[in-house]
Structure 1
Amino acid sequence: MSRAGLDGIDTLLLEVGPGLTRIALRRDGALIDLIVEAAGHESRIGWILLGRVIEVSHGLDAAFVDIGAAEPGFLPARAARLLKPEMPAGTPIARLLAEGETHLLQQVKDESAGKGSVLSADIALHSDHLVLTPRLAGVAVSRAIAGKAERARLRRAALDAAQALGLPPQEGIVLRTAAAGLDAATIQAELAALAARWRAIQARAAPAKPPVVIDRPAGALEQLLPHLAPDTDILCADLAGHTRVTRWCEAHRPELLPHIVRYRGQDPLFEREGVEEEIAAALERSVPLPGGGALAIDPVEALVAIDVNGAERDPREAAFAAVHEVARQIRLRSLSGLILVDFPRLDRRADRDRLIEELRAALAGDRVNTQLLGYTRGGLVEIIRPRDRDTLAHQLAHQLAQLRAG
């Protein structure tokens, strides 16, 4: 979760139960994101695995890797090249891997619809401000950090830290957007922690037999907390959640402590705050729009279709009124892949350009890097959103299964 994905979030609601965690993020009273972690169904994105190659496919230019899951992981040639960095880009998979080999890999996409997870040899270890790339050399600075002088200062500080710590030349560093203004001592301390984590991963992997999980990142809550604004309200439905948040903030972000509240009302927190009602609405096909009209959301196998029905409203008014709700529903429902939005027809080029810019700004607050491609020749607005976790409907199905099992 990036800091950009939490811009404007003013409230986090947390519910921790046996085998199930629910996190609701709200902005101005509206539910923006819901994360459900059910034991056995949590996202494995970012996990580092020791896998064994079981098939090399010339036709797909990819390998299938046994990682201990129901389906083998999928490793494309472009994502495997760093296993042999001396090989040029475009080297076919058969020259990179052979059946029976074992490799440390990172999961970058979860399983979905009977397809195995997607793997990469480009391992990335994240901290609050840095990313260590053990197989990709160089120092990179987020392009969102403004000012040539600040970017040069950060690059120099990272290079000095790498030299002081004796990092091997093949290991690289990325300074995240949050690193703007960071002092050199903090950069070196975070880099030292990431380097120590990588050494520990290598040490655990050396005697291990695949398939096995070698390292997994912190849970969703611990990934969110570093990026919350310092005045974010954190409401905890239970003692387990309150204790978990408080202990983490005491160690990492004490400025959040005054904003942590243990809810003690009689009604369940998510019900009292209207979250359950908003979740139920997010599972409906039709979403009412303020001022009239509705969105009709239809996920199918190949794409997601969103129709903006303006009812009797002026088409221009209806189109602009729907922009922020379209962006909110895409994020809340965790829709992914190709998304086509049918806005009311706008005859003026200036209006179409303005709609695209407003939609782009609304999508910029998403937790994943969503691409707005603009209007198609048929007059639909085309969006590509990478899949980072199950849709909300699938998350809630896992929640129901967990509750029934409990």
Structure 2
Amino acid sequence: MTEDILINVTPFETRVALVEQGAVQELHMERSIQRGHVGNLYLGKVVRVLPGMQSAFVDIGLDRAAFIHVADLRQNRTERSTGAAVTPIEKLLFEGQSLMVQVIKDPLGTKGARLSTQISIAGRMLVYLPYDPHVGISQKIESEEDRIALRERVLQFRGDDKGGFIVRTQAEGATDEELQADHTYLRTLWNSIQEKAKSQPTPSVLYTDLTLGQRVLRDMVGPNTGTILVDSRSTTQQLLEWAKTYTPSVLDRIKHYSGERPLFDTANVDEEIARALSRRVDLKSGGYLIIDQTEALTTVDVNTGGFVGGRNFDDTIFKTNLEAAVALARQLRLRNLGGIIILDFIDMDDAEHRNSVLTELNKALSKDRTRMTVSGFSQLGLVEMTRKRTRDSLAHQLCEPCPTCQSRGNVRTPRTLCYEILREILRESRQFNPKEFRILASQAIVDLFLEEESAHLAMLGDFIGKPVSLEVESQYSQEQYDIVLI
């Protein structure tokens, strides 16, 4: 199936949509003042070593200190590959030490960036591993003959280079000249990074990953890619220049979009973004998904909704689950959901139905470039899976916690708040002796006090022997109120 890539460029933001059969499958965004850090190399300074957690904090110049675990130190990766015992972090790092590190996970929430000293630099065909002699092949190249041939070709031109490589999926079918050119580019880049590290203070940036548009050409373009439309003439020219050097095979697919309609409107991308921020995803059959993202994990609940089209109840459930499997695989890519994901399909008694749903799910997930694992149905009827998380989800990029409900997803009812206010006035009447109590609250609270709760308010006034007045504060949210002593 052909995939088209739309690149919308503005001075403040670049957005990329991958569209297949008219439906948006993936969204990527990069704001000029909020560029991600994954892949960047830094000369950092160790600020604290925590032996109890076998971790250390490293200052790399970001707002929060970054974090490195003992398992992400290249010395221990080498030892683990030979079966040797892991060296404790306190024997490898000390406070004040300069350290070349690479960001492997962007800061998420209150957590700082995660680092590694096992450096890797990605090219079009190859990923260069300067400290690891291993040559690996992408798991998506399934033919064993192709894997062996690619490994032998890479070993031939590596020469006396002690570094290793991971051969990317794009290398399948590449010529020797293309592989050699990628190797030369990566070696030259690594040499310049090493020279820079010798003269820079700590903390400082040694290497910044490519722009979003360049990463699209490097990582997303494949045999199924159709047209790459860019709505900025200058960005189109920049991508053509970059592609001429590194990805000449995609030159004829990069086109400048000059239509009158905004580029994203041609595929209803903005509408798709709005739907991707909703908890509910409607299925064509009438069923729906409910997606809830929490700090620890993401849950997906499947419901039949208004779908009653099956021959019997089991058939209805089976068809809903099959449709849900395809839809949720798309939603994971679209929303960029990562970490632990729990899928709650509608209960199925038939083992054959469960196997068919799992097969359909795995088939739909196979289009995703992100690494993931999927388990079978648990005893509770849940499917557990993981999807590698390297950047914020779409919701975390575009939204922030609700200041009213503090991201709980609900607020206390007006009646609950009325009774809370009455209790608060009773408490304060025992400590203070004002002439009057005045309640400042939202319209909903004041209306309830004037109507259904008026008797309780009058009873309180009689009990404490003080008048209680009401005043609407239009700027207050439902949960905000003040009690003024006059």
TM-score, normalised via structure 1 length:
0.89
Matching residue's letter, 2:381: G
Instruction: Identify the range of structure 1 (359-368 vs 70-79) with the bigger mean alpha-carbon deviation.
Output: 359-368
Cα deviation for residue 151 of structure 1 reads 3.1
* Native 8 Å contact 1:81 1:91 kept in 2: no
1:53 is aligned to: 46
Question: Offset at 1:89?
Answer: 4.5
On the 8 A contact 1:373/1:384 being kept in 2, the answer is: no
Cα distance in 2 for partners of 1:256, 1:80 equals 37
Q: Give the aligned residue type for 1:179.
A: A
Shift in alpha-carbon separation, 1:89–1:364, aligned structure 2, 3 A:
farther
Structure 2 CA distance for aligned equivalents of residues 192 and 225 of structure 1:
19
Deviation of 1:149 after TM superposition, in Å, equals 4.3
Q: How is 1:268-347 mapped onto 2 (pairs within 5 angstroms)?
A: 268-311=262-305, 312-313=307-308, 314-347=316-349
The equivalent of 2:121 in structure 1 is: 125
- For residues 328 and 102 of structure 1, what CA distance do their matches in structure 2 show? 43
SS at match of 1:232: strand
- Tell me which residue corresponds to 2:256: 262
**1:362 positional shift:** 1.1
The secondary structure found in structure 1 opposite 2:73 is helix
Aligned residues of 1:65 and 1:75 also touching (Cα < 8 A):
yes
Q: CA deviation at 1:255?
A: 4.9
- What residue ranges of structure 2 are gaps of 5+ in the alignment? 309-315, 401-486
Q: Which position in structure 2 is the counterpart of 1:404?
A: none
Matched with 1:243 is 237
Identify if the C-alpha distance between structure 1 residues 9 and 217 changes in structure 2 by more than 3 Å, giving closer, same or farther.
farther
Determine the structure 2 residue equivalent to 1:395.
397
Identify which range, 79-88 or 94-103, moves more after superposition: 79-88
2:179 matches 1:187: yes
* Equivalent in 359, 375, 382 of residue 373 of structure 1: 375
Partner of 2:72: 79
How many residues align? The count is: 387
Question: How does the TM-score come out when normalised to structure 2?
Answer: 0.75
**Alpha-carbon shift at residue 146 of structure 1 (Å):** 4.2
Identify which of structures 1 and 2 has the higher relative contact order when contacts are C-alpha pairs closer than 8 Å and 6+ apart. Answer: 1
Whole-angstrom CA distance in 1 between matches of 2:119 and 2:55:
18
Structure 1 residues 9, 22: CA separation in 2 closer, same or farther (over 3 Å shift)? farther
Q: Is the 8 A contact 2:71 2:77 kept in 1?
A: no
Alpha-carbon contact 2:108-2:391 (below 8 Å) kept: no
8 A Cα contact 1:74 1:119, kept in partner: yes
1:90 lines up with 2:86 in the alignment = yes
**In the alignment, what sits opposite 2:152?**
156
Aligned residues of 1:14 and 1:241 also touching (Cα < 8 A): no
Change (3 A) 1:152 1:268: closer
> Residue 105 of structure 1 aligns with which residue?
101
Q: Which sections of structure 1, spanning at least 5 residues, go unmatched?
A: 1-7, 399-406
Give, in angstroms, the shift of residue 233 of structure 1: 1.6
Residue 355 (structure 1) aligned with residue 348 (structure 2) = no
Task: Give the % identical residues.
Answer: 35
For 1:73, give the aligned amino acid: A
- How far residue 184 of structure 1 moved from its aligned partner, in angstroms, is 3.5
- The alignment status of 1:142 with 2:138, answered yes or no, reads yes
Larger Rg: 2
Deviation digits for residues 137-190 of structure 1 (CA, Å, limit 9, x no counterpart): 232233443444443333232222122xx31x3x21222233234343433332
Contact 1:81/1:96 (8 A) holds in 2: no
Please tell me the residue identity of whatever aligns with 1:294.
Answer: Y
* SS of match in other structure, 1:100: coil
- Residue 135 to residue 317, structure 1, CA distance change in 2 (3 Å): same
Consecutive aligned runs of 4 or more in structure 1 exceeding 6 Å deviation:
none
Q: Return the match for 1:17 from 10, 13, 19.
A: 10
Please give the alpha-carbon distance, in whole angstroms, between the structure 2 residues aligned to 1:284 and 1:45.
Answer: 27
- How far, CA to CA, are the matches of 1:337 and 1:68 in structure 2? 27
Q: Does residue 66 in structure 1 map to residue 59 in structure 2? A: yes
Partner Cα separation in structure 1 for residue 79 and residue 303 of structure 2: 55
Q: Deviations over 1:214-270 (max 9, x none)?
A: 002212221221442465122222323333333334444455444444333333221
Q: 1:32 touches 1:331 (CA, 8 Å); kept in 2?
A: yes
Deviation per CA, 1:11-35, whole angstroms, max 9, x where unpaired? 1111111121111111111111111
Offset, 1:355: 1.1
Change (3 A) 1:246 1:151: closer
Match of 1:27 among 9, 20, 45: 20
Superposition RMSD on alpha carbons, in Å?
2.2
Distance (Å, rounded) in 1 between the aligned partners of 2:296 and 2:77: 35
Q: Distance in 2 between matches of 1:249 and 1:81?
A: 33
Q: 1:44 to 1:9 in 2, by over 3 A?
A: farther
Aligned twin of 2:453:
none
Select 1:222's aligned residue among 203, 208, 214. Answer: 214
Once the 2 structures are TM-superposed, how far is the Cα of residue 9 of structure 1 from its aligned partner?
A: 5.3
Deviations, residues 304-340 of structure 1 (Å, cap 9, x unaligned): 1111111243111111011111011111111111111
What letter matches 2:34 in structure 1?
A: H
Tell me which moved more, 247-256 or 151-160: 247-256
